[in-house]
């Protein structure tokens, strides 16, 4: 194992507990999931663990009145499941909702999840256009940056006319 990989793995527990100074503390459940996947002895065991996790996430996301903080946690877990190749299409709309209504950290996680889950021709991109327009018009530069990042990652040439006037307006105010 390379030295960089060893240092990364050694710092992972501190990162997950939020000891590195960021808002990255994750739940014990997510820590347990990562540990279980890392310690699984076979692909079959990993599949069993991940099917259980996907089922858990699907059940949690159907509950009403989930706080944005808890939704952020669930989306991070969905991203992990997606990275391991599991079908999490049920979570796409929740990622979109968090990008629309979350605080800065939650909005960032929502945009990240949307950019990982969707492609530029996905039908949910139409729902994202309004959110991007709102963020590009924001006085908060972080919202503007998140909107611009989403445009670069998700918007096809057919969608550009829906955002063009916002770009012109943004350019005039700079």
SS (H, E, C) the chain: CCHHHHHHHHHHHHHHHCCCCCCCCCCHHHHHHHHHHHHCCCHHHHHHHHHHHHHHHHHHHCCCCCCHHHHHHHHHHHHHHHHCCCCCHHHHHHHHHHHHHCCHHHHHHHHHHHHHHCCCCCCCHHHHHHHHHHHHCCCCHHHHHHHHHHHHHHCCCCCHHHHHHHHHHHHHCC
Range name among 32-46, 55-69, 147-161 with the lowest pLDDT average:
147-161
Range name among 22-26, 71-75, 121-125, 132-136 with the lowest pLDDT average:
22-26
Q: Between 16 and 117, whose confidence is greater?
A: 117
Residue 7 has pLDDT above 90, yes or no: no
Whether 164 and 98 map to the same domain: the answer is no
Which pLDDT score is estimated for 93?
Answer: 94
Range name among 9-23, 56-70, 140-154 with the lowest pLDDT average:
9-23
Which pLDDT score is estimated for 22?
Answer: 41
Which pLDDT score is estimated for 174?
Answer: 65
Whether 7 and 71 map to the same domain: the answer is yes
Which pLDDT score is estimated for 74?
Answer: 93
18-26: average pLDDT: 48
Residue 15 has pLDDT above 90, yes or no: no
Of 67, 86, 113, which marks where a domain is finished? 113
Whether 109 and 149 map to the same domain: the answer is no
65-70: average pLDDT: 89
127-153: average pLDDT: 89
% pLDDT > 70, the chain:
84
Whether 23 and 105 map to the same domain: the answer is yes
The number of folded domains in the chain is 2
Domain that residue 129 falls in: 118-174
């Amino acid at each position: 194992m390379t030295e960089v990989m060893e240092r990364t793995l050694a710092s992972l527990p501190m990162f997950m507990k939020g000891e590195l100074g960021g808002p990255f503390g994750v739940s014990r459940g997510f820590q347990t999931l990562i540990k279980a996947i890392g310690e699984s002895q076979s692909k079959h065991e990993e599949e069993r663990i991940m099917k259980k996790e996907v089922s858990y996430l699907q059940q949690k996301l159907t509950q009403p009145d989930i706080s944005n903080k808890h939704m952020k946690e669930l989306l991070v877990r969905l991203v992990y499941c997606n990275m391991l190749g599991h079908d999490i299409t049920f979570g796409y709309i929740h990622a979109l909702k968090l990008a629309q209504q979350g605080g800065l950290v939650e909005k960032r996680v929502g945009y990240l999840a949307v950019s990982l889950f969707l492609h530029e021709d996905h039908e949910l991109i139409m729902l994202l256009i309004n959110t991007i327009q709102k963020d590009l018009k924001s006085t908060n530069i972080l919202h503007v940056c998140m909107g611009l990042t989403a445009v670069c990652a998700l918007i096809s040439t057919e969608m550009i006319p829906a955002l063009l006037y916002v770009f012109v307006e943004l350019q005039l105010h700079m």
